[in-house]
Structure 1
Amino acid sequence: MSNWRIRDFHSSDMDGILHLWESLKADNVDPVYALSEVLASCEKDHAVVAVQGEQVVGAAVGRAAHDQGWIVFLATLPEFRGRGIGTSLLAAVENRMTPHGLNKLSALMPESETRVEAFLGRGFLLKQNLHYFERTIPVQRQELEPLSQLGGRILARDLWENVAGMRREKELLERRLVLPLAEADLADQFGVVPPRAVVLFGPPGTGKTTFAKAIASRLEWPFVEVFPSRLASDPKGLAGALRETFLEIAELEHAVVFIDEVEEIASQRSGEPPSPLQGVTNELLKIIPAFREQPGRLLVCATNFIRALDTAFLRHGRFDYVIPIGLPDVHAREAMWQRFIPASVVDSVDVALLVSRTEGFSPADIEYAARSASQRALEKAVYTADAAGAGASSGGAVPASNARKGPVTQDYLDAIADTRTTVSDEVHQDFLEDIDSLARV
């Protein structure tokens, strides 16, 4: 007669689960599921333990999802192995999961695990030629609520790849920012301190916000945008609300924090009496050093008018890099046109001509011209007299299927001619001078 018995898991058994976990690690077995997952399933899913007296000598933990069940943990203390405890634990946890309508019960075992008799004895089949894929979700469940309260979000993983052109800027951001943050251990090995705060500056519409989002996407960190205009209505005042927001951000494990048009709250301090915004600037200058002490975070500030920023704001020790984001070059403009022109007609459009005609255009200008050309072409296809036929005589629109299939080169040229560029020659020249005097890359 055995001197052990099986019962449901109790919260007081947590130390026993930890002891079982440590016994596996001592045998050089690396469990598939993390300890935190196992402990969470013990409390919320299905768990049974084998006990001798008051000692936990074995445990099985299962999790059900729809009609599929998974064994996330099975362990027996070394001195109790070979007594059939594992098979009995599997039977007990299956009995508790079956009422949930399971069609299949599965288990993943590390390759180093040799004690599979419990599974075989319970009727499990060993599947050959399978690959196990695993992906860690970047934001943990406990962070979702504070992230939502901050208005933060997880951006699509392909955002970085979808930034058309701007190859030089992407390469610079990849090397200076993404690499040391994504490979923190490797950076530490080389004595590289990961960046904590950067300024992106450049003319309006050059993609500074897009790059900030793309950095968050590339790192798979939550993106939190701080809107000073919204904080200004807070009863605590803008400075107080700004301080409170950054305290809440400190609760997140990782975050890319973005402040656009930062010159609105960090402009040159001058005048007697002091401007009301000087208190906000002072508060921000205090926040940044504290922010820099927290790993796993990056502050990205963007400005169209870097000359307006307070000189103390940009000094070394607050921002690691001051990076220019300028107008797209020939290669970047070509990539943007290739992206915006419909695939069905791109081979028939003179892209090289569009590239040459849009020198001095910002990414936003090019996108606007491309969308405008598509809209014009659609209207021509539906409403022009050439395509009207019987539909025009009855006052109705002609189906687009009877007309041409997309924009042509002339549609794009017309749209380009009607597009008012965002960046003037004077603004662009000032930007080039700012690169020489203020950029830090």
Structure 2
Amino acid sequence: VDDVIAELEAKIALPFENQALARRLQLKPKRGVLLAGPPGTGKTTIGRALAHRLRSKFFLIDGTVVAGSREFYTKVECVFAGAKRNAPSIIFIDDADVIFEEGNQGFYRYLLTMMDGLESASADRVCVMLTAMEVTSLPRAMLRSGRIELWLHIGLPAEDARKEILREKLEALPQPLSEVDLAQLAQASRGLTGADLKAVVEDAKLLFAHDQVQEKHGVPIEQYFLRAIAGIRSNQANYRSRKGTSSLNTSIGYPIE
């Protein structure tokens, strides 16, 4: 994640925040960014954090309204127009691979038209960021240079990173919940995302509280966390077995201050 943030700082934040230097060196921020990686790795959080740092408006297009209706296209047009008016701004298209995986050609062509409309000089302070889990589901034309200029991968946290995430989550907890073998839990949680680790801590707290109410004592604290990790893995297995059964939904969001 640190490498991704450094890339965004150099290629988007710097030209936005240092306009005199940008003019002198003719620097242009990257206008199309793809954040690729598994769900729960912080892609949306990174987009919001960048918007907050730049004091810019954050316009969200995600997955809650069915695409293809006349109202949908009108809202997309309003988002792009609003982003231009409120530059510097970020248009954030969440789960773009889900939006396009069923071949919604009408919306795809319309979105490309909107993105190409940002190539004018008046729109050079508008950044379009997309997230995707399966990059192969995105149309090739969308990934060409000039539309997507910066391609960043956000992977799963390594063992040391998982240990630090768990340490941060556990610091505020009372004893004995905070007295755990972090190395053991970090090793056991291989393959989990930051969002998964947060869920592990919350689930472990609930399991511990249940035993306290039942006056069941003497269980090693690590066991609550290991049971929570097992629960997360079970949920993931169930999701994988059911993947592809849900229908496609896409949606539009308006600026978040």
1:372 equivalent in alignment to 2:203: yes
Match of 1:408 in 2: 221
Match of 2:76 in 1: 242
Q: Which runs of 5+ in 1 are unaligned?
A: 1-165, 270-276, 388-403, 428-441
- 1:250/1:379 CA distance change after superposition, 3 Å: same
SS of the aligned residue for 1:348 comes to: coil
Alignment of 1:32-431 (within 5 A): 166-227=1-62, 229-230=64-65, 232=67, 236-267=70-101, 277-293=104-120, 294-343=123-172, 344-345=174-175, 348-386=179-217, 408-420=221-233
Q: Percent identity?
A: 27
What is the CA–CA distance in structure 1 between the aligned matches of 2:195 and 2:126, rounded to whole Å?
Answer: 28
What is the CA–CA distance in structure 1 between the aligned matches of 2:105 and 2:12, rounded to whole Å?
Answer: 30
What is the CA–CA distance in structure 2 between the aligned matches of 1:382 and 1:418, rounded to whole Å?
Answer: 21
- 1:423/1:173 CA distance change after superposition, 3 Å: farther
What is the CA–CA distance in structure 2 between the aligned matches of 1:203 and 1:421, rounded to whole Å?
Answer: 17
- The Cα of 1:267 is off from its aligned counterpart by 4.8
What is the CA–CA distance in structure 2 between the aligned matches of 1:220 and 1:335, rounded to whole Å?
Answer: 29
State whether residues 38 and 155 of structure 2, in contact with CA within 8 Å, keep that contact through their aligned partners in structure 1.
yes
What is the CA–CA distance in structure 1 between the aligned matches of 2:149 and 2:157, rounded to whole Å?
Answer: 24
SS of the aligned residue for 2:142 comes to: coil
What is the CA–CA distance in structure 2 between the aligned matches of 1:185 and 1:333, rounded to whole Å?
Answer: 40
What is the CA–CA distance in structure 1 between the aligned matches of 2:81 and 2:30, rounded to whole Å?
Answer: 20
- 1:188/1:410 CA distance change after superposition, 3 Å: farther
Task: String of CA shifts for 1:152-191, please: whole Å, max 9, x gaps.
Answer: xxxxxxxxxxxxxx33333333333323322233234334
What is the CA–CA distance in structure 1 between the aligned matches of 2:126 and 2:198, rounded to whole Å?
Answer: 31
> What residue identity is the alignment partner of 1:242?
V
State whether residues 361 and 421 of structure 1, in contact with CA within 8 Å, keep that contact through their aligned partners in structure 2.
no
- The Cα of 1:321 is off from its aligned counterpart by 0.5
What count of residue pairs does the alignment treat as equivalent?
234
> What residue identity is the alignment partner of 1:256?
I
TM-score (structure 1 length as normaliser): 0.48
State whether residues 182 and 219 of structure 1, in contact with CA within 8 Å, keep that contact through their aligned partners in structure 2.
yes
- The Cα of 1:211 is off from its aligned counterpart by 1.4
What is the CA–CA distance in structure 1 between the aligned matches of 2:142 and 2:15, rounded to whole Å?
Answer: 23
What is the CA–CA distance in structure 1 between the aligned matches of 2:95 and 2:86, rounded to whole Å?
Answer: 24
- The Cα of 1:309 is off from its aligned counterpart by 0.7
What is the CA–CA distance in structure 2 between the aligned matches of 1:266 and 1:224, rounded to whole Å?
Answer: 19
SS of the aligned residue for 2:141 comes to: coil
State whether residues 239 and 279 of structure 1, in contact with CA within 8 Å, keep that contact through their aligned partners in structure 2.
no
SS of the aligned residue for 2:197 comes to: helix
Task: String of CA shifts for 1:279-298, please: whole Å, max 9, x gaps.
Answer: 21111111112224313322
- The Cα of 1:337 is off from its aligned counterpart by 0.5
- 1:320/1:185 CA distance change after superposition, 3 Å: farther
TM-score (structure 2 length as normaliser): 0.79
Match of 1:139 in 2: none
What is the CA–CA distance in structure 2 between the aligned matches of 1:177 and 1:303, rounded to whole Å?
Answer: 20
- The Cα of 1:347 is off from its aligned counterpart by 6.0
What is the CA–CA distance in structure 1 between the aligned matches of 2:216 and 2:205, rounded to whole Å?
Answer: 19
Question: Larger C-alpha radius of gyration, 1 or 2?
Answer: 1
- 1:361/1:288 CA distance change after superposition, 3 Å: same
Q: Which has the higher helix share?
A: 2
> What residue identity is the alignment partner of 2:161?
A
Task: String of CA shifts for 1:13-65, please: whole Å, max 9, x gaps.
Answer: xxxxxxxxxxxxxxxxxxxxxxxxxxxxxxxxxxxxxxxxxxxxxxxxxxxxx
What is the CA–CA distance in structure 2 between the aligned matches of 1:285 and 1:385, rounded to whole Å?
Answer: 60
Task: Give the root-mean-square deviation of aligned CA atoms.
Answer: 2.9
SS of the aligned residue for 2:92 comes to: strand
What is the CA–CA distance in structure 2 between the aligned matches of 1:355 and 1:188, rounded to whole Å?
Answer: 47
Task: String of CA shifts for 1:66-107, please: whole Å, max 9, x gaps.
Answer: xxxxxxxxxxxxxxxxxxxxxxxxxxxxxxxxxxxxxxxxxx
- Higher RCO (C-alpha 8 Å, min separation 6): 2
